Amino acid sequence: MKRLTSLALLLAFTIPAFCAEQTFNNVPVVDTMCSKKVADNPDAHTKACAIACQGGGFGIITSDKKFLKFDSAGNQKVLAAIKSSKKEDHLRVDVSGDVQGDTLKVTTVKLL
């Protein structure tokens, strides 16, 4: 019984550490289908391409060139922001959420 209590306490304090919200500031947002193609120069990726390729979803390219795809709620939020933006390229965001593997469960996203 003592082992089960210890294990439960360990999990209670460990799991939230892995699910801590992270914030990424001024990072490029691109569609999933173009993420590898534009990884070296994501600021050249255009609004028109992002909208045309929206079916695969969106994500960010981190400073270490890792692609984190958005969850469905994040995809909807950023698509609406991209469509209403006057910017034609250099699409960047401030985004917060929980990183789960290669997916970012978005809580907030703001197109810059």
Encode 42-83 in three state secondary structure.
Answer: HHHCCHHHHHHCHHHCEEEECCCCCEEEECHHHHHHHHHHHH
Q: Return the minimum-mean-pLDDT range out of 2-6, 23-27, 81-85, 108-112.
A: 2-6
Confidence label for 12 from pLDDT (cuts 50, 70 and 90) = low
For 55, how many CA atoms within 13 A lie in the half-sphere containing its CB? 2
- Model pLDDT for residues 65-91, shown as the tens digit of each residue: 899 999 999 999 999 999 999 999 999
CA distance 84 to 65: 27
Average pLDDT over residues 39-53: 95
Task: Calculate the average pLDDT of the chain.
Answer: 88
CA distance 33 to 30: 8
The answer to whether residues 22 and 98 touch, using CB atoms and an 8 Å cutoff, is yes
pLDDT at residue 20 in the model: 82
The residue ranges of every structural domain in the chain are 21-111
CA distance 28 to 45: 9
Q: Return the minimum-mean-pLDDT range out of 8-12, 21-25, 67-71, 98-102.
A: 8-12
Average pLDDT over residues 4-28: 67
Average pLDDT over residues 49-75: 96
